[in-house]
Structure 1
């Protein structure tokens, strides 16, 4: 009862004094850099957690060279002829075309006539989401078994890789499934993009996405189903605990969704930041003011917010992942975003593109995220990614800038800019080879021929690559 009363009081306060919304409640601590005590000589895990690891951690054996291609390195520089040298999981050199200073035993790939570039990043995915193509209704996505969730994710990871996506930020999936998928991919057992997982989306009772927290015998609400993709929390203490649960599972970030009180979101962001985890939020209107006040790191979707909020996002370095293509699919499929208590405003193709253009003009950092997995699995790829790039181009990004948003900026938003997003010496070898010039025509991304993730060949001739089984000798008689 107390939770409902506090929310009614909050709603009344917002109606009475909407201009004060972003001034209510405490501000969370800044993001704590958990690896600041580690010198560069100490190896760590290749994720946001930066856990100390043995030397050579997770590095494949051997080396390879990509020769004869044009390099789009993701830094914003113009494409140029270059040779890329990879040893283990690391890019060790970017050479001029006539320089053959690479390991003698390196595998040489001739990519003449093709473009070599960093792998694409999708900042808004739900790898295990059930949708209409799976025969789902609005409740059933809460009732999957963990095994079924993982299998759905395996299928989608393959399509991502075939489309040139080598990293996904999963901002809400079922139970432990995203962490299982992340671990198997990182070890090389499962081909697909790197996964940066939020775990369960956190919202209040009745909040956006809350229907996906229904238990096995819906219509009862709650957190009784460990395989649900959403966790319900009420009050600041429960929001902190929900964050800690995702951290314990291995989360790389925390995903929150409106509605919430200022005290709730501030508590969640404070807890996440104290643990070294960035926070992204699905929110709109006054709830964006609260998210900015709390100090979130990024805001999803092209939903309404004031010009003052946009200016504060730019000032505070809060990134935007607009997911324009997802809303375009919704508008064209059903004519509008209907039946949601968290979408009570005008929403159409004009409003979403205008909002993205405002963010661009204000200097807000913007990355590419699709969110179409929740609508039609990965069926729209690679067209959905190309559509998002074309929209970025239309709102003021050059083609080069849009591809930088898809690579370098995406890595920065994930908090992996020191290891991913560009092809430079010392970066991890997440590399795709494209038959064409995507910096001139985005449609070239329909022809991704080769992909390496963490230095491992995972796509060859446009098909998923799996190394042949190596027989282990039986033990001999002693």
Structure 2
């Protein structure tokens, strides 16, 4: 045995025993497992991130319709133009020139002359069941019922749809409520936007949002409160298990929140990616460095981070959902963000725009999310328009801001192949606006019609449900 060989062996042993090296190994997470190699395009699947095989014509409404006479803003970044849109079932089957009448003879024809037809808006950050301000003094996550959560979410879905939002990414809600609402909406049983649900937000004991997990009757930390909107986890194994629990419920993504160790977030991201789920994180300062190292797919909020972290986000394709509007509401309502251990830094209207502007200049992919908690959905659609206007303040044109709200946001959800633009083969999530939002964003206050998955769900600015169709009684034997 040579001295050189012994030295190498001793060095290897020292490295294996080093905590820092063990942490680095834990950070080597795998990318999102792509199952497309096992599912060719000819196999129909569910219209969500899970892409579960489904029967042909899955969840498609009957019949067809045509939108004629309007100007099309298709969400690709191209200039608006006159066009006719043909939808059969749940799919856009053609985008025709105005004089082309090549559509099914039995199609319902909607005359949208003088209006703009465009992809439905997307909100990448919302909490369907977050307690209202009045309820927070009475209820906690431990004594709120599932029925209350579902009814609260149902009301908010209506507000969002009336504001032109046809897809929402729920990044933390109570128990199984978001999954119940997702299933009912997808079946066309309730009007509202598509739901892409994360299930419970995952954080450590004392981490951001952990207060929602406590209250009278809360079980021991680590056991988990199934009705909470937050899942407490401690150590890499519990973070993996927390991810698996959301996956078992039907999650479309995983939402993590600081604080955490490198080993914890790396384990969670690795587990989520192995299951085919993207990960987004509510993080700040050094926790953003950890998140990038772990391989997260997007980062929420305009919170402090280094220039090096911003550059790494751009290099590694980590998207940003800056959510500028909630911090503007907080600052104007209470003078600042107070009382949170996860917000120990300066945070005001200037800092949030500066951070968003830095990310824009660095080339970070950016989508639209509002984070309207408590009774803040009442600010819709003005809150959404305000977020779009903020994007124009940090360097986006109006057209680019609307693309961020549609095409880019769909891509961040990993749904860019099915949503976000009006093109042949895409799902028919379409809104009709009384005005030209690409020229004046405030026109989005006048969304008159909305189709979600080819189903009419908003008519004349009001929620729409088709009339009940009576089924005949069983025949007498």
TM-score for the superposition, normalised by structure 1:
0.93
Write the deviation string for residues 379-421 of structure 1: whole angstroms up to 9, x where unpaired: 1100000000000001100000000000000000000000000
What is the SS of the residue equivalent to 2:269?
helix
1:428 lines up with 2:408 in the alignment = no
* Conservation of the 8 A alpha-carbon contact between 1:90 and 1:429: yes
Match of 1:210 in 2: 210
1:115 lines up with 2:112 in the alignment = no
* Deviation at residue 149 of structure 1 after TM alignment: 0.4
Match of 2:176 in 1: 176
Match of 2:4 in 1: none
Write the deviation string for residues 53-86 of structure 1: whole angstroms up to 9, x where unpaired: 0000000000000000000000000000000000
What is the SS of the residue equivalent to 1:268?
helix
What is the SS of the residue equivalent to 2:377?
coil
Query: Aligned equivalents of 2:184 and 2:323: distance in 1?
Result: 27
- 1:347-386 mapped onto 2 (5 Å cutoff): 347-372=347-372, 374-386=373-385
1:453 lines up with 2:452 in the alignment = yes
What is the SS of the residue equivalent to 1:36?
coil
- 1:158-173 mapped onto 2 (5 Å cutoff): 158-173=158-173
What is the SS of the residue equivalent to 2:58?
coil
* Conservation of the 8 A alpha-carbon contact between 1:203 and 1:232: yes
CA RMSD of aligned residues (A): 1.7
CA 440–226 in structure 1, closer or farther in 2 if over 3 Å, else same: same
Match of 1:11 in 2: none
Greater CA drift, 134-143 or 221-230: 134-143
1:80 lines up with 2:81 in the alignment = yes
* Conservation of the 8 A alpha-carbon contact between 2:141 and 2:227: no
* Deviation at residue 109 of structure 1 after TM alignment: 0.1
* Conservation of the 8 A alpha-carbon contact between 1:143 and 1:225: no
Match of 1:152 in 2: 152
Match of 1:13 in 2: none
What is the SS of the residue equivalent to 2:137?
coil
Write the deviation string for residues 338-368 of structure 1: whole angstroms up to 9, x where unpaired: 0000000111100000000000000000000
Query: Aligned equivalents of 2:449 and 2:232: distance in 1?
Result: 42
1:416 lines up with 2:411 in the alignment = no
* Conservation of the 8 A alpha-carbon contact between 1:201 and 1:229: yes
* Deviation at residue 217 of structure 1 after TM alignment: 2.4
What is the SS of the residue equivalent to 1:421?
coil
Match of 2:135 in 1: 135
Query: Aligned equivalents of 1:32 and 1:468: distance in 2?
Result: 43
CA 53–393 in structure 1, closer or farther in 2 if over 3 Å, else same: same
Match of 2:199 in 1: 199
What is the SS of the residue equivalent to 2:256?
strand
* Conservation of the 8 A alpha-carbon contact between 2:218 and 2:225: no
Query: Aligned equivalents of 2:274 and 2:346: distance in 1?
Result: 37
Query: Aligned equivalents of 2:182 and 2:392: distance in 1?
Result: 32
- 1:279-428 mapped onto 2 (5 Å cutoff): 279-372=279-372, 374-428=373-427
Query: Aligned equivalents of 1:273 and 1:109: distance in 2?
Result: 43
Query: Aligned equivalents of 2:219 and 2:212: distance in 1?
Result: 11
What is the SS of the residue equivalent to 1:272?
helix
Query: Aligned equivalents of 2:429 and 2:46: distance in 1?
Result: 15
* Deviation at residue 375 of structure 1 after TM alignment: 4.0
Runs of 4+ residues deviating >4 angstroms? 22-25, 218-224
Query: Aligned equivalents of 1:269 and 1:64: distance in 2?
Result: 42
- 1:191-270 mapped onto 2 (5 Å cutoff): 191-217=191-217, 221=221, 223-270=223-270
What is the SS of the residue equivalent to 1:303?
coil
Whose radius of gyration is greater, 1 or 2? 2
1:440 lines up with 2:439 in the alignment = yes
TM-score for the superposition, normalised by structure 2:
0.94
Query: Aligned equivalents of 2:413 and 2:118: distance in 1?
Result: 19
* Conservation of the 8 A alpha-carbon contact between 2:141 and 2:215: no
* Deviation at residue 121 of structure 1 after TM alignment: 0.1
Query: Aligned equivalents of 1:160 and 1:350: distance in 2?
Result: 28
Query: Aligned equivalents of 1:280 and 1:75: distance in 2?
Result: 25
Match of 1:4 in 2: none
What is the SS of the residue equivalent to 1:379?
helix
Match of 2:48 in 1: 47
Query: Aligned equivalents of 2:36 and 2:136: distance in 1?
Result: 42
Match of 1:32 in 2: 33
* Deviation at residue 219 of structure 1 after TM alignment: 9.7
* Deviation at residue 377 of structure 1 after TM alignment: 4.0
* Conservation of the 8 A alpha-carbon contact between 1:215 and 1:224: no
Query: Aligned equivalents of 1:95 and 1:278: distance in 2?
Result: 35
* Conservation of the 8 A alpha-carbon contact between 1:269 and 1:294: yes
Residue correspondences, number: 458
Match of 2:7 in 1: none
- Structure 2: runs of 5 or more not aligned: 1-19
